Amino acid sequence: MAGIGLATVGAAVSLAFFGQDLPSAEDLAKDPLAVSTKVYDRTGTQLLYQFEVERRDIVSIDTIPQLMIDATLAAEDKTFWTNPGIDVFALARAVRDDLLHKQVVSGASTITQQLVKQRIVGNEVSLARKIKEGILAVEVTRTYSKKQILELYFNQIFYGNGAYGIKAAAQTYFGKSDLSRLTLAESALLAGLPQAPSVLDPSDPDNVANATERRAYVLSQMVDIGSITEAQAAAADTEPVKVLGTQSAQITAPHFVFQVKEQL
């Protein structure tokens, strides 16, 4: 009880101090996401090449299958639809650990906090950043609908292997541009990647065991929230992890393509 009281007082003081000079919650969707620029032939059907800083194709939340949404929420934020944008107890632990042990805990962030960190406050590891992230996550939840936040998350997040956003990830790992074709096992694997993309990237043979273990965790959490049955999870867990190997980009008509880039 004393610990909870200390955390509550600390949180109130932190809100007053760190709430000053914060960016606006509206900044969350202000800057457009980087997308790929695709160059086609004169028929508009043959892709010659695509230029990109981040490989990404924007998708609407209405085109993302419920299975993929359930897998992501089970892995990252089970209370997403009802929480105020933060995990109050995780934030209190961060304050406690900094005060008592001078150690900042960065885990247990909600989806909204992850989005705020990437789009507004940055990746600095500090208690101040964590508190600002929490305050802004609450403001973002008041400013945007949950569907808007989730859509931006699915388009923003890095899935490893050069893939940003869920559509690029599905295409990169499974060669599927139609998200409705993702299986349960594939959805669970993709949902698990943002936690540690470089360590979990299944296209690297050294990471397959890590990716399989993470997929099993996501499936178990999906059972926990009631989105799938134990039998479905067990069946998906037995499927071997099969992904496309790392693809080197092929370019057709390079002189033409780079002339187009020069003009653009």
Contact 109, 131 (CB under 8 A): no
Q: Is residue 27 a part of any domain in this protein? A: no
Range of the domain at 208: 2-22+33-263
Contact 190, 160 (CB under 8 A): no
Q: Is residue 138 a part of any domain in this protein? A: yes
Number of Cβ within a 10 Å radius of residue 79: 11
Contact 215, 189 (CB under 8 A): yes
The residue whose two tokens read 């923003």 is: 156
Contact 78, 58 (CB under 8 A): no
The residue whose two tokens read 């809100």 is: 15
Contact 207, 91 (CB under 8 A): no
Local structure of residue 46 (DSSP, 8 states):
S
Q: Is residue 172 a part of any domain in this protein? A: yes
pLDDT of 190 reads 98
Q: How many domains are there within the chain?
A: 1
pLDDT of 1 reads 54
Q: Is residue 28 a part of any domain in this protein? A: no
Query: Cβ contacts of residue 57 below 8 Å, gap of 6+?
Result: 35, 36, 165, 167, 168, 171, 177
Q: Is residue 62 a part of any domain in this protein? A: yes
Q: Is residue 136 a part of any domain in this protein? A: yes
pLDDT of 192 reads 97
- Integer Cα distance of 131 and 137 in angstroms: 10
Residues in the chain: 264
CATH classification of the domain holding 75: 1.10.3810.10
pLDDT of 186 reads 98
- Integer Cα distance of 24 and 120 in angstroms: 9
Q: Which residue stretches of the chain have pLDDT < 70?
A: 1-20, 91, 94-95, 98-99, 101-108, 245-249
Write out 131-176 in H/E/C secondary structure.
Answer: HHHHHHHHHHHHHCCHHHHHHHHHHHCECCCCEECHHHHHHHHHCC
pLDDT of 225 reads 96
The CA-atom distances, in angstroms, between 29 and each of 142, 153, 194 are 14, 11, 20
pLDDT of 108 reads 64
> Which amino acid appears at position 1 of this protein?
M
